[in-house]
């Protein structure tokens, strides 16, 4: 009897491990930035390149940093949600235009709507690297003290918005 029970037990453990492994998403790499200060940047604004914008300008507010590009197809999927957030004045959204051409970016915003309080340009992707960006779009929720509290990797979905992002924003805005 033992002869069969032991291999069967080993097999069951293996299956359990593999089953858990299958449900994990390898694309969702935990961000090392959670509960850490948002990396500093000083970038030219998309619409007024002469003006510089820094993450410090948002201190005291809960805000979203959305990394996007006009060449990014998934950005179009999440865009209506951002437009909705901006329309309802839920939270200020700063758009970081990542490795894009300014003219393309501006045309894209004209076409699909501009939800951003301020847009900044990161033409060579340096600030993207500082934020650990690897798959556009990505969205960071940043609290009043300037700490990153949540990172959405990939497009914002209705599920992520209602399940995580909005409750977190409301909670952070209360404090």
Partner 1 sequence: MKALAALLLALMPFAAWCGEAVPTEQDPVHEKRAVKLSEQLRCLVCQNQSIAESNAELAVDLRRQIRDQIKAGKSDNEIVDFMVQRYGDFVLYRPPLNTTTVLLWGGPLLLLVIGAVVLARNLRERRHRAAEPELTDEDHRRAEQLLTGGGKDRT
Interface residues with partner 1 (CB under 8 A)? 26-27, 29-32, 99, 124-125, 129-132, 134-135
Nearer to partner 1 among residue 36 and residue 87 (C-beta): 36
Q: How far is the CB of 28 from partner 1 (least distance, A)?
A: 10
CA-based nearest residue to 140, from 21, 48, 36: 36
Q: How far is the CB of 110 from partner 1 (least distance, A)?
A: 26
Q: Could you tell me the two tokens for 27?
A: 């694309």
Nearer to partner 1 among residue 42 and residue 48 (C-beta): 42
Q: Could you tell me the two tokens for 146?
A: 């300037």
Q: How far is the CB of 121 from partner 1 (least distance, A)?
A: 16
Nearer to partner 1 among residue 129 and residue 145 (C-beta): 129
Cross-sheet strand order for the sheet of 118-122: 118-122, 93-98, 63-68, 138-142, 148-153
Strands 63-68, 138-142: pairing kind = antiparallel
Q: How far is the CB of 1 from partner 1 (least distance, A)?
A: 17
In 3-state terms, what secondary structure has residue 8? helix
What backbone torsions phi and psi does residue 58 show, to the nearest 5 degrees? -100, 0
Nearer to partner 1 among residue 62 and residue 97 (C-beta): 97
């Amino acid at each position: 009897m033992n002869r069969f029970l032991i291999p069967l037990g080993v097999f069951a453990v293996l299956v359990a491990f593999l089953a858990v492994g299958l449900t994990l998403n390898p694309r969702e790499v935990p961000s090392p930035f959670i509960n850490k200060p948002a990396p500093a940047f000083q970038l030219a604004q998309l619409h007024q390149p002469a003006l510089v914008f820094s993450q410090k300008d948002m201190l005291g507010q809960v805000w979203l940093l959305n990394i996007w590009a006009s060449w990014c197809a998934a950005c179009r999927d999440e865009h209506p949600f951002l437009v909705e957030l901006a329309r309802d004045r839920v939270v200020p959204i700063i758009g970081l235009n990542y490795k894009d051409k300014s003219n393309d970016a501006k045309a894209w915003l004209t076409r699909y709507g501009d939800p951003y309080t301020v847009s900044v340009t990161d033409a060579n992707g340096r600030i993207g690297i500082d934020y650990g960006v690897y798959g556009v779009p990505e969205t960071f929720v940043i609290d009043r003290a300037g700490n990153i509290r949540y990172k959405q990797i990939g497009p914002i979905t209705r599920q992520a918005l209602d399940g995580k992002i909005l409750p977190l924003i409301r909670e952070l805005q209360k404090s």
